[in-house]
Structure 1
Amino acid sequence: MLRILKRWLAGSRTKTSGELLEGPIPFHIAIIMDGNGRWAKKRALPRSAGHHEGMKVVRRVTKHANSLGVGILTVYAFSTENWKRPKDEVSYLMKLPAEFLNTFLPELIEENVQVRIMGDKSMLPKHTLDAVERAVNDTSQNSGMILNFALNYGSRSEILGAVQRIVDDYKNEHLQKDITEEIFADYLMSNKLKDPDLLIRTSGEMRLSNFMLWQLAYTEFWFTDVLWPDFNEKHLHEAISAYQKRGRRFGGI
Structure 2
Amino acid sequence: MWRSLLAIMIAFVVNGCSGTIPSLQNDPQFKVLVFSKTAGFRHDSIPDGIAMIQQLGSENHFAVDASEDSSSFNDANLANYRAVIFLNTTGDILDDNQKAAFQRYIEMGGGFAGIHSASDTEHFWPWYGALVGAYFQSHPAIQTATIKVEDPNNPSTSFLGSKWQRTDEWYNFATNPRGSVHVLLTLDESTYSGGTMGTDHPLAWCQTYEGGRSWYTENGHTKDTYSEMLYKQHVLAGIQYAAGVVTANCQ
TM-score of Structure 1 vs Structure 2, range by shorter chain? 0.3 to 0.5
Higher relative contact order (CA 8 A, sep 6+): 1
Please state which structure has a larger fraction of its residues in strand: 2
Structure index of larger Rg: 1
State TM-score, norm by structure 1.
Answer: 0.33
Superposition TM-score, scaled by structure 2 size: 0.33
